[in-house]
Structure 1
């Protein structure tokens, strides 16, 4: 009986932890600065594209922006991809309305942080 109780408790705890890491449409996230010059898990345009569009080729303008999850997609390999838009309705770099991101990798790399 004791082993059954411990097993059920362990399974419940595991399900509880996995449920917290699931993104929902409407969740708010904040874009944080990275140590490198580019974002690895958020699909922002490359610097050469920004230069061609007449924008400054750095990502300082997106640091600290609050974004909202508009769509959640799960790929066949289990990767969770989210479509992000700015909370204020603006555009990223004045030309891109939405960007995609690998949710779990971006959270682990601290490129995205959940708003509490």
Structure 2
């Protein structure tokens, strides 16, 4: 009986903890540059494309940038893709209004941080 009660308590705890990790439209996040200087889970243009368009600073302009979740999509494989826009309404690198990101992988890698 004790084992059953303990198992149910643990299951409830994990279910509650996983429910808090779900993104909602309007959540505020912060973009951080990863250690290897390449974004793997946020769909920013590659550095050579930015340089061709005249953005000399590369990814430095999005470091510590506050973004808001604009749209949420769940793929068939279970991954959650969010559409991000800048909180101040300006464009990313002066050319992109929105970018997409794999929410769970970007959070896990440190590319996105949840602002509380």
Question: In the aligned structure 2, how far is the partner of 1:41 from the partner of 1:83?
Answer: 12
Summarize deviations over 1:10-56 as a string: whole Å, max 9, x none.
11111111111111110000011211121111100111221222211
Moved more, 53-62 or 73-82: 53-62
Corresponding position: 1:80 with 2:106: no
Q: TM-score, normalised by structure 1?
A: 0.94
Alignment check: 8 A CA contact 1:47 1:57 kept: no
Corresponding position: 1:48 with 2:11: no
Deviation at 1:59, TM superposition (A): 0.3
Question: In the aligned structure 2, how far is the partner of 1:109 from the partner of 1:50?
Answer: 23
Alpha-carbon RMSD across the aligned residues, in angstroms, is 1.1
Q: 2:90 is matched with which residue?
A: 90
Alignment check: 8 A CA contact 2:51 2:58 kept: no
Q: 2:39 is matched with which residue?
A: 39
Deviation at 1:57, TM superposition (A): 5.4
Alignment check: 8 A CA contact 1:48 1:57 kept: no
Count of residues paired in the alignment: 116
Unaligned runs of 5+ in 1: none
Q: 1:64 is matched with which residue?
A: 64
Unaligned runs of 5+ in 2: none
Q: 2:4 is matched with which residue?
A: 4
Runs of 4+ in 1 over 4 A off after TM superposition: none
